[in-house]
Amino acid sequence: MENEHTYSASSYRTPDGAPTDIVIFTITAQDRESGKKSLPLRELQLLLIERKIWPFQGVWALPGGFTQETETVAECAQRELKEETGISDVRIEYFNVYSAPGRDPRGWMISHAFLALVKEDLLRERKASIDAADVRLFPVSEAMNMKLAFDHHDIIRDALDKIREKMLTTTIAKEFLPEEFTIGELYQVIQTVVPAFEEKNFIRKVTSTQIRKGIIEEVRDEAGKLKSSNKYSQRAAQLYRFTDYEPQLSIYS
Amino acid sequence: MENEHTYSASSYRTPDGAPTDIVIFTITAQDRESGKKSLPLRELQLLLIERKIWPFQGVWALPGGFTQETETVAECAQRELKEETGISDVRIEYFNVYSAPGRDPRGWMISHAFLALVKEDLLRERKASIDAADVRLFPVSEAMNMKLAFDHHDIIRDALDKIREKMLTTTIAKEFLPEEFTIGELYQVIQTVVPAFEEKNFIRKVTSTQIRKGIIEEVRDEAGKLKSSNKYSQRAAQLYRFTDYEPQLSIYS
DNA sequence: AAAATAGTGTCTATAAGACATTATGGT
DNA sequence: ACCATAATGTCTTATAGACACTATTTT
């Protein structure tokens, strides 16, 4: 009877680990040197850590680590992110698995890749951990030309494709923006992630077109007066916030 | 020097396996009894196999099996699908990982779930394997009310959400249709997967609207004359085929 | 006044959306 | 003649797309 419950596959070769890798994107904003008020220069960056141990000692890599028996891979990603960079309370999203034989010199490792978009200020809390010599942001274009550990080059490429698609089809732009923002900031964030994006009448589409009307809404103060900001420009710009509405896209309607 | 290369994590607990599960959807078409020509009744179905061994002996489950060290999880899914059901040359797509502790009584198993959409006739080649007492199609609504092995209920629910989304945002409808099809068939396939889908002027949108114009094209015979079919109706309907064009959707443009 | 960003007016072509109407050919 | 499905006509309103123009406030 007990023999019936013997799991025959247990005598097979089993994986040597189920690691997670986390691709953290952020958009940095840097004020331009000209004394005048103007939109800051924005750049898409990602977070890497320098490996202190074999394999790929001294090489930059994505944060991540090994899943434990008592947690899901998503919980592992949250935990490792906290341990290695000090970042917590971030919405991370699973996007792919990497299982090519030989991808990890330590053995048979099937890695689960997550991505997260965080506001720049959250990264100020980052710290070097005992496992990493250093933690740093790199511009995405620079990271793609660096030597990276494992197949992290592929993982970053896939993550980038994914957020480009999501930037245009969902409201993830909000992950990069403050609660209240101007149309100019929103436009700039979209273009930072998707450089090819260009819409001549952007302000009209996003505010007055029927199907998109609900995505963002004007911010008003306690008295009900429209709230604006002249942080980036001489003329004050109307502030907006995202609503909870997520438009449903379709190629057939 | 050699000690430096010792993988310290190798002394940790490692997973007991990296299985794959494959959700195969098909749409069956059944002619209506009325002698007259009319559109067939279509139904979304999925393929399950009955387990012959512990755990969940005698319970219906998704096809799948254990990944080997020499293959990727995607290759495993293709191989297991072939072994258990006889289906090959199908485009399968990875969609999620299932890693909740305790999800598999055999031990710590992190499962990788794939989905595939196949034309009904491909399933005619299916066969019972040595591991499965039986292989059968079930209507999705019926499968969701059955007792299923492991967390396959969750996997199917997620797969269903995924194909509903993809049915409206990509051209996967082609996976369910013959090379040449009528607008009526296309409409019916979309509605079979997404019952809520309804478009009054469907034929016009899909054929004459600028942005969608390139998705499908009219089929012509050798002489260049428009080709039509009266398979489902008295009046012959124009035949169409999908092009290679995949529209890029955006909430901002 | 110049600069920099915000926002509106106006025009044309195209698309959406609703419905009624016509077309075709087998039973 | 009737039926089921295919396809078009017609009308109103909404959106796309282009581009010139006006608005606001700091330097």
Among partner residues A13, A73, A171, which is closest to B97 by beta-carbon distance?
Answer: A73
- Scanning every strand, the nucleotide with its C1' closest to A182's CA turns out to be C6
pLDDT at B3: 42
A168–B252: do the CB atoms touch at under 8 Å?
yes
pLDDT at A128: 45
pLDDT (tens digit, 9 = 90+) per residue, A57-99?
A: 999 999 999 999 999 999 999 999 998 888 888 999 999 999 9
Q: What is the mean pLDDT of residues B169-190?
A: 94
pLDDT (tens digit, 9 = 90+) per residue, B71-117?
A: 999 999 999 999 888 888 889 999 999 999 999 999 999 999 999 99
pLDDT at A121: 76
Other beta carbons within 10 angstroms of residue B219's beta carbon come to 16
pLDDT tier, B179 (very low <50, low <70, confident <90, very high otherwise): very high
* Closest-approach residue (CA) in chain B for A212: B251
pLDDT at B144: 97
Q: What is the mean pLDDT of residues A127-142?
A: 72
Å from A207 (CA) to D16 (C1')? 14
Among partner residues B14, B171, B249, which is closest to A14 by beta-carbon distance?
Answer: B14
pLDDT tier, A39 (very low <50, low <70, confident <90, very high otherwise): confident
- Scanning every strand, the nucleotide with its C1' closest to B233's CA turns out to be D5
Q: Nearest-CA distance from B37 to chain A in Å?
A: 27
With contact defined as beta carbons under 8 Å apart, do A135 and A84 qualify? Answer: yes
Among partner residues A54, A110, A199, which is closest to B252 by beta-carbon distance?
Answer: A199
pLDDT for residue B129 is more than 50? no
Among candidate residues B162, B160, B65, the one with its CA nearest the CA of residue B104: B65
With contact defined as beta carbons under 8 Å apart, do B14 and A14 qualify? Answer: yes
pLDDT at A13: 92
Query: Quick one: what percent of chain B has pLDDT higher than 70?
Result: 88
Q: Nearest-CA distance from A5 to chain B in Å?
A: 6
Q: Which of A3-17, A149-163, A239-253, B3-17 has the highest mean pLDDT?
A: A149-163
Q: How far is CA B249 from the centre of its chain?
A: 22
With contact defined as beta carbons under 8 Å apart, do B163 and B101 qualify? Answer: no
pLDDT at B201: 87
Is the pTM for the entire model greater than 0.85?
yes
* Closest-approach residue (CA) in chain A for B102: A70
pLDDT at B123: 67
B68–A9: do the CB atoms touch at under 8 Å?
no
pLDDT at A35: 59
Q: Nearest-CA distance from A87 to chain B in Å?
A: 23
* Closest-approach residue (CA) in chain B for A1: B54
CA distance A148 to A64: 14
Nucleotides of chain C in contact with protein CB (under 7 A) are 3-9, 14-19, 23-27
pLDDT for residue A111 is more than 90? yes
Average pLDDT in chain A = 88
pLDDT for residue A26 is more than 90? yes
Cα-flanking dihedrals φ and ψ of residue A186, to 5°? -60, -45
Q: What is the mean pLDDT of residues A186-206?
A: 92
Q: Give the residue with greater pLDDT, A250 vs A128.
A: A250
Residue B192's alpha-carbon distances to A52, B28, B41, B232, B238, in angstroms, are 54, 10, 9, 17, 21
E strand or H helix at A141: helix A140-143
pLDDT for residue B214 is more than 90? no
pLDDT for residue B130 is more than 50? no
- Scanning every strand, the nucleotide with its C1' closest to B36's CA turns out to be C27
Among partner residues A12, A71, A212, which is closest to B251 by beta-carbon distance?
Answer: A212
A168–B101: do the CB atoms touch at under 8 Å?
no
* Closest-approach residue (CA) in chain A for B7: A106
Q: What is the mean pLDDT of residues A50-58?
A: 92
Cβ-Cβ contacts under 8 Å, A74 against chain B:
99
Please give the full DSSP string across B171-234, using - where no structure is assigned: STHHHHS-SSEEHHHHHHHHHHH-TT---TTHHHHHHH-GGGTTTEEE-B-TTS-B-EE-SS-S
Cα-flanking dihedrals φ and ψ of residue B111, to 5°? -100, 145
pLDDT tier, A247 (very low <50, low <70, confident <90, very high otherwise): confident
CA distance A248 to A252: 11
A99–B67: do the CB atoms touch at under 8 Å?
yes
Cβ-Cβ contacts under 8 Å, B96 against chain A:
94
pLDDT at A191: 94
